[in-house]
Homo-oligomer: A and B are copies of this chain.
């Protein structure tokens, strides 16, 4: 039974709340005060323990009335497929390959026809017309990876 450092304790505290409710909303400085740590440690706890891989989505707002909200989401079953697709894409992908990836997601019923069409429009050559092929392919990779990461969970 290790895990007595303050980050683990804060993690436990937040997860206890999340055991009862779908989400938890905090004011960063309040939690920091409560556990007597600097505010940025809250960011550390979130970054290391409330990742999307663990099934958490985090939103925040700065300024007056600011907050950090952690939401527990249901992870999908076929995460391995997404992971391997992300690996295949790497940091650069052609329009042709991207279209075929979207097509296979459609074949696998991960996306329906309209969703596939929408996503195709985001990665189309005509949409991403920087006059620079290398950049275009890199941008397309980022978009696809972003989508695949989103598909890890349901809303």
Contact = CB atoms under 8 A, between A and B. Distances in A.
Interface residues of A, number: 40
Interface in A55-87: 61, 63-65, 67, 69
Interface stretch (A12-20, A28-36, A138-146): A138-146
B146 A127 contact: yes
Contact of A146 (B67, B124, B130, B150): B124
B113 A155 contact: yes
B155 A127 contact: no
Contacts of A114: 115, 155
Copy tally for this chain in the complex stands at 2
A108 interface: no
A67 B150 contact: no
A127 to B, nearest CB: 3
Interface of A: 1-5, 8, 23, 25, 61, 63-65, 67, 69, 113-115, 117-122, 124, 126-130, 139, 142-143, 145-147, 149-151, 154-155
Given A117-B155, A118-B147, A122-B147, 7 more contacts: A1-B25, A2-B67, A2-B69, A114-B115, A114-B155, A118-B119, A118-B150
By Cβ-Cβ distance, the 10 closest A-B pairs, closest first, are A127-B146, A5-B65, A121-B150, A4-B65, A5-B64, A121-B146, A122-B122, A1-B25, A122-B143, A121-B147
